[in-house]
Structure 1
Amino acid sequence: MGTRRKLPPLTALTAFESAARLESFTKAANELGVTQAAVSRQIHLLEAYFGFALFVRGHRKVELTDKGRVLALASQDAFDIIASSVSELTTDAQDVDLTIAATVAFSHFWLLPRISEFSRNHPGINLRILTQDSFPNIESAEIDIAIRFGSGMWADGQASLLFEDEVFPVCSPSFAQSAGHISTPNDLLAHPLISYTADDPTWTGWSEWLAAFAVELPKRKSGLRCSFYTEAIYAALNGQGIALGWRRLVEDLLVQGRLIRLTNSTVQTRNAYFAIVPKRRRQTEACRLFQVWLGETAGK
């Protein structure tokens, strides 16, 4: 028989984890449904157990000591793992929820056209797609997996590479026919260029794309300006001008012939698309299955 793990009183540890996370004995008491005095008493017991202070008590707030911060991180990780396991064990195997976060453009052009394959293979997993162009912290939000474009270095999650991308001009077949011969980046300046407002500074706009070929975008260039990349692509589909096509996002439209590529010029992106999972949360089987599907589909 193995030696029993040496653990502090779990009631006291529960009170400590809540107080450390909420940075307040009073808020911890409200969360746990006990009095503030009871929380204070449990933390005193824990400090007596360890033989050192876990909090510095102020007039209106409490702050963790250095040793208290170490214990807070460990206890929060442990409680997160327990909570995740309990949730998985008590959830009906035929009714598992999985939340995926992605940008509007990625969801619209890449994820949603393909995700039915995953649903057919795993009918017991209920998918929820959260589309927003900002990057929510996946450790605090109810997100199981996020898809982001960037360097792959994010503090709130562990990243796995999906694919890199390249950017080139696209337009509708009817626009290309009316525009005539376009073979170089400089030729594009004679036509309306559809632009969009990118919240993400790593996304390539017309100025950056043309600069890669030593072409300067005029300050007063004609062309539709959109708020989102999806709007820019739909404007191009409707023959309103030329947009920048991110190959991984518009490849279905190119295959369908609804968009065509202009010029052989292309810019390889410095960043890439990654799948991100929370670092401090135990991954469910549903999340693991979705990551496997993502990786396989991204490689096609």
Structure 2
Amino acid sequence: MDRPDLPLNALRVFEVVMRQGSFTKAAIELRVTQAAVSHQVARLEDLLGATLFLRTSQGLVPTDEGRLLFPVLEHGFDAMARVLDRLGGRRNIEVLNIGVNTTFALGWLMPRIEHFRQAHPEIDLRISTNNNRVEILREGLDMAIRFGTGGWTGHEAIPLNEAPLAPLCAPALTSRLLVPADLAQQTLLRSYRSAEWKAWFEAAGADCPPLTGPVFDSSVALAELAASGAGAALLPVAMFESWIAQGRLAQPFGITVSMGRYYLAWPSDRRVSPAMSVFSSWLSGKNAS
């Protein structure tokens, strides 16, 4: 088929901006100035006669035209890179950028990550931790491990570990917690998911006391506070088993409540690369090797 003169440099810059979610991060990856990145994107928009990004107070937002173009370019550049690696006699190394909820990273992923590295040396896994509020495209990620219901608009998601919640506290506090109602006399440490304590008390058949005090967006921060004796925190027990085994935390009651689970998510319009497929299978237990 006939091909128009392809503005390859501008297309490459656009692809990097889409992955990184900002001109600044794209400039760092490409080792050029931010002005050069902006110039190439503007040139491509002029050539196409279409706007590819909206500049908002929250950052860059790709337009429908930008979202349509991106997966085609991503697939094409990935394919070219694989062929060039083979022609150059180099082992094909694929970079995979993963955003991970900090609790899951510390409680499950990091103790197992060396196994993945040894089993899949062809994948350069790069992990960024977050507090569960993550913009995959804007932050230049390929996939993210998140806690919730899995119903994120514009994303595919596969279920991973269940994460039932239970109160955890310093071992010294357990002598004062004989029945669930005794928790009403203690400081109940809160996460930004405000309905969790109420749901747990309902499951325990007790009244939920008024909740006051600061709100935290990190289960790890809540666990640290609980371990220091500051109160009881409602936490995913499976992610803090090592803390319990070490005597840093204790679980006074066996009652749990489920408010969601961990999922591996990625944008619906993103082509699933070989590395994404391998990581997904390994993480979901379909390929333990």
Q: Could you tell me whether the CA contact under 8 Å between 1:224 and 1:240 is conserved in 2?
A: no
Q: Could you tell me whether the CA contact under 8 Å between 1:84 and 1:282 is conserved in 2?
A: no
Q: For residues 233-278 of structure 1, what are the alpha-carbon distances to aligned partners after superposition, in whole Å with 9 as ceiling and x for unaligned?
A: 1222233332212123223333455432212322122x32110133
Match of 1:50 in 2: none
Q: 1:55 offset after TM fit, Å?
A: 6.2
Q: Could you tell me whether the CA contact under 8 Å between 2:225 and 2:231 is conserved in 1?
A: yes
Letter in 2 for 1:191: Q
Mapped to 1, the partners of 2:41 and 2:244 lie a distance apart of 56
Match of 2:242 in 1: 252
Give TM-score scaled by structure 2 length: 0.68
**Structure 1: gaps of 5 or more residues:** 1-5, 22-26, 44-53, 57-68
Out of 160, 183, 187, the position equivalent to 1:188 is 183
Q: Could you tell me whether the CA contact under 8 Å between 1:125 and 1:286 is conserved in 2?
A: yes
RMSD: 4.0
Mapped to 1, the partners of 2:252 and 2:70 lie a distance apart of 53
Q: Could you tell me whether the CA contact under 8 Å between 1:84 and 1:281 is conserved in 2?
A: no
Match of 2:77 in 1: 83
Say yes or no: does 1:148 pair with 2:151: no
Match of 2:253 in 1: 263
Match of 1:228 in 2: 218
Mapped to 1, the partners of 2:264 and 2:222 lie a distance apart of 25
Out of 86, 101, 104, the position equivalent to 1:103 is 101
Look up the SS of the partner of 1:267 in the other structure. Answer: coil
Mapped to 1, the partners of 2:251 and 2:39 lie a distance apart of 60
Match of 2:32 in 1: none
Say yes or no: does 1:30 pair with 2:32: no
Look up the SS of the partner of 1:266 in the other structure. Answer: coil
Match of 1:215 in 2: 207
Mapped to 1, the partners of 2:181 and 2:124 lie a distance apart of 49
Residue 73 and residue 7 in structure 1: after superposition, are their counterparts in 2 closer, same or farther (change >3 A)? Answer: farther
Out of 181, 197, 202, the position equivalent to 1:206 is 197
Identity %: 25
Q: 1:167 offset after TM fit, Å?
A: 1.1
Mapped to 2, the partners of 1:74 and 1:218 lie a distance apart of 49
Q: What aligned pairs does 1:272-287 form with structure 2 within 5 A after superposition?
A: 272-287=261-276
Give TM-score scaled by structure 1 length: 0.66
Q: Could you tell me whether the CA contact under 8 Å between 1:139 and 1:279 is conserved in 2?
A: no
Residue 31 and residue 173 in structure 1: after superposition, are their counterparts in 2 closer, same or farther (change >3 A)? Answer: same
Match of 1:290 in 2: 279
Q: Could you tell me whether the CA contact under 8 Å between 1:226 and 1:232 is conserved in 2?
A: yes
**Structure 2: gaps of 5 or more residues:** 19-35, 52-62
Q: 1:230 offset after TM fit, Å?
A: 0.9
Residue 12 and residue 190 in structure 1: after superposition, are their counterparts in 2 closer, same or farther (change >3 A)? Answer: closer
Residue 214 and residue 99 in structure 1: after superposition, are their counterparts in 2 closer, same or farther (change >3 A)? Answer: same
Q: Could you tell me whether the CA contact under 8 Å between 1:105 and 1:229 is conserved in 2?
A: yes
Q: What aligned pairs does 1:109-148 form with structure 2 within 5 A after superposition?
A: 109-133=107-131, 135-148=133-146
Task: Kindly name which structure, 1 or 2, has the bigger radius of gyration based on alpha carbons.
Answer: 1
Q: Could you tell me whether the CA contact under 8 Å between 2:170 and 2:226 is conserved in 1?
A: yes
Mapped to 1, the partners of 2:235 and 2:287 lie a distance apart of 18
Q: For residues 158-212 of structure 1, what are the alpha-carbon distances to aligned partners after superposition, in whole Å with 9 as ceiling and x for unaligned?
A: 21111332111122333324x2x513x212112333x1342xx4x7543443244
Q: Could you tell me whether the CA contact under 8 Å between 2:160 and 2:263 is conserved in 1?
A: yes
Q: Could you tell me whether the CA contact under 8 Å between 2:132 and 2:146 is conserved in 1?
A: no
